[in-house]
Amino acid sequence: MAMASVLQQIMIPVYQPHFGGREKEYVNQCLDSTWISSKGEFIRRFESGFAEYIGAEHVTTACNGTAAIHLALLAIGVGPGDEVIVPTLTYIASVNTIMQTGAEPVFVDSLKSSWQTDPEDIKRKITAKTKAIMAVHLYGLPCDMDAITAIAKEHGLFLIEDCAEAFGSRYKGQHVGTFGDVAAFSFFGNKTITTGEGGMVVAKNQHIIGNAYHLKTQGVSPTREYWHDVVAYNYRMTNLCAAIGLAQLEQADEILGKKRRIAEWYQQGLAGLPLQTHEELPDTVHAFWMCSVAVDDAKSRQPLRKHLKQAGIETRPFFYPAHSLPHCGNAQSFPVAESLSARGINLPSYPGLDRQDVALIIDTIHGFFESAST
Ligand SMILES: *Cc1c(COP(=O)(O)O)cnc(C)c1O
């Protein structure tokens, strides 16, 4: 027993945030000034700094990424009777928020090459009820935005981007979140930049961001006190969170640079093994939120994870495809997403990993396949 628990102690987690800047200083400024709630200068500074970093016109903070997606959907008027096209291989928040509006998620499969939303399958799933397409930039690699924006335009559909995993991701030089009508980012503790819990809504036009702002602030009138004209929410971010976010934003390039180097170490070290790494594609900048592999043989996925765990290395399996979850019950088949979901592993991916950590992980993976083949 004691032996087993020692062996299974995690030494290298999948993620931990990198606080190398002015986080403490800014949080202390909030405390000293007593502005710890959702008013205060850091909200404004974080919003304007974020908008500038990604090249967005209009943004507003939210209390988490899920709330940001919910606001994004509501801000473009998604509701009962509508269908929203969404990849089945995504985190559940993309799907639950669609259902929370009263609309129906219509699932699409993924591409084998990039693991991202398959544009051809989007075309097949468009009906008279389709209101919007939600593109999810899974694990930090952008979707094929030329294809997806063209489909949305041709069919007169709204385009939403779930950029929760894609801070720092670019397509043809343009930061994701600026292609669609509206987009959402997450700043959860394991996201590329974090505020603990937090999110951001991004929109192309002032009207949409105005709707999102109205809905996140209880639908209160800007001119008449305690006058509310809609069923709305308290989805505001606190000044404390924004203070952390601003400090994180100041280190964005450094954090992204460290993550890119880690991804390169993995790619070099894992070459030749019976698995696929998540490669950057031409015309994209992969932010490598997660460094992931899909093993060739699904049967080796759990044994490999167990082998890594015994060496103190934490991993995560890929998401279950949403269509297979009980409350989304959908009997259709999505062969690529199902296969990826059964074969995928997220490896430790946090910016503080050094060369030795990554070398240990790579050696442990090599050790697994060597012992499996003898
Ligand atoms: C993390 C994540 C979210 C939700 O963000 P929270 O801040 O945890 O609410 C939504 N979509 C995707 C794809 C995510 O990875």
Q: Which atom of ligand 1 is nearest to the CA of 199?
A: 7
Based on the fold, state whether residues 233 and 329 are members of the same structural domain: no
- 129 tagged catalytic: no
Q: What percent of the chain has pLDDT over 70?
A: 98
Atom of ligand 1 nearest to the CA of 94: 11
- Last residue in a domain, options 182, 216, 249: 249
Based on the fold, state whether residues 258 and 216 are members of the same structural domain.
Answer: no
Q: Of 226, 249, 272, which residue is a domain's last?
A: 249
pLDDT computed for residue 6 by the predictor = 53
- Weakest mean pLDDT among 6-15, 31-40, 266-275, 344-353: 6-15
Domain identity same for 290 and 181: no
Number of domains in the chain: 2
Give the largest Cα separation in the chain, rounded.
Answer: 75
Q: 99-148, pLDDT tens digit by residue?
A: 999 999 999 999 999 999 999 999 999 999 999 999 999 999 999 999 99
Which pTM was predicted?
0.96
Q: Compute the distance between CA of residue 146 and CA of residue 2 in angstroms, rounded to an integer.
A: 55
User: For the chain, what is the radius of gyration of the CA atoms?
Assistant: 21
Helix 23-33, helix 239-250: angle, nearest 10: 150
Shared-domain flag, residues 257 and 214: no
Residue whose Cα lies nearest atom 6 of ligand 1: it is 65
- Which residue of 89, 95, 162 sits with most ligand 1 atoms within 8 Å of its CB, as the best mutation to test the pocket? 162
pLDDT band at 374 (very low <50, low <70, confident <90, very high): low
| Cβ pair 186, 68 in contact under 8 A | yes
CB-CB contact of 175 with 200 (8 Å): no
Q: How confident is the model at residue 10 (pLDDT cuts 50, 70, 90)?
A: confident
Identify whether residues 347 and 234 lie together within a single domain: no
Label residue 81 exposed, middle or buried (CB < 10 Å: 0-12, 13-18, 19+): exposed
Q: Same domain for 244 and 267?
A: no
Any idea what the CATH number is for the domain that residue 358 is in? Answer: 3.90.1150.10
Q: Six-digit token pair at 118?
A: 């398959």
Q: Tell me which residues have their CB closer than 6 angstroms to ligand 1.
A: 64-66, 90-91, 93-94, 136, 162, 164-165, 186, 188, 199
pLDDT at position 3 over 60: no
Q: Which residue has the tokens 């180097």?
A: 261
Among 125, 172, 191, 306, the active-site one is 191
pLDDT at 359 exceeding the cut of 60: yes
| Other CB atoms within 10 Å distance of the CB of residue 354 | 11
Q: Is the pLDDT of residue 69 over 90?
A: yes
Quick one: three-class SS letters along the chain?
CHHHHHHCCCCECCCCCCCCCCHHHHHHHHHHHCCCCCCCHHHHHHHHHHHHHHCCCEEEEECCHHHHHHHHHHHCCCCCCCEEEEECCCCHHHHHHHHHCCCEEEEECECCCCCCECHHHHHHHCCCCEEEEEEECHHHCCCCHHHHHHHHHHHCCEEEEECCCCCCCEECCEECCCCCCEEEEECECCCCCCCECCEEEEECCHHHHHHHHHHHECCECCCCCCCECCCCCECCCCHHHHHHHHHHHHCHHHHHHHHHHHHHHHHHHHCCCCEEECCCCCCEECCCCCEEEEECCHHHHHHHHHHHHHCCECCEECCCCHHHCHHHCCCCCCHHHHHHHHHEEEECCCCCCCHHHHHHHHHHHHHHHHHHHC
* Joined tokens for residue 328: 């989304």
**2 pLDDT tier (thresholds 50, 70, 90):** very low
330 pLDDT band (50/70/90 cuts)?
confident
Residue 140 lies in a domain: yes
What pLDDT sits at residue 329?
79
Residues 211 and 259 in one domain: no
The Å distance, Cα 2 to ligand 1 centre, comes to 36
Say yes or no to pLDDT of 61 above 90: yes
Give CA–CA dist 220/153, Å, rounded.
Answer: 33
pLDDT value, residue 326? 94
pLDDT tops 60 at residue 178: yes
To the nearest whole number, what is the mean pLDDT of the chain?
Answer: 96
How sure is the predictor about 9, in pLDDT bands with cuts at 50, 70 and 90?
Answer: confident
pLDDT higher than 90, residue 8: no
Residue 45 in this model has a pLDDT that exceeds 60: yes
Write out the residue range of the structural domain in which residue 31 sits: 23-249
Judgement on whether residues 89 and 138 belong to the same structural domain of the protein: yes
Looking at the fold, whether 233 and 272 belong to one and the same domain comes out as no
Helix 355-373 vs helix 252-270: crossing angle, to nearest 10 = 30
What pLDDT was estimated at residue 372?
79
Of the residues 207, 224, 249, which one is the last residue of a structural domain?
A: 249
Average pLDDT over residues 171-200: 98
Assess if residue 102 is contained within a domain.
Answer: yes
| 264 and 144 belong to one structural domain | no
Quick one: average pLDDT of 12-34?
A: 97
Reported confidence tier of residue 1, pLDDT bands at 50, 70, 90: very low
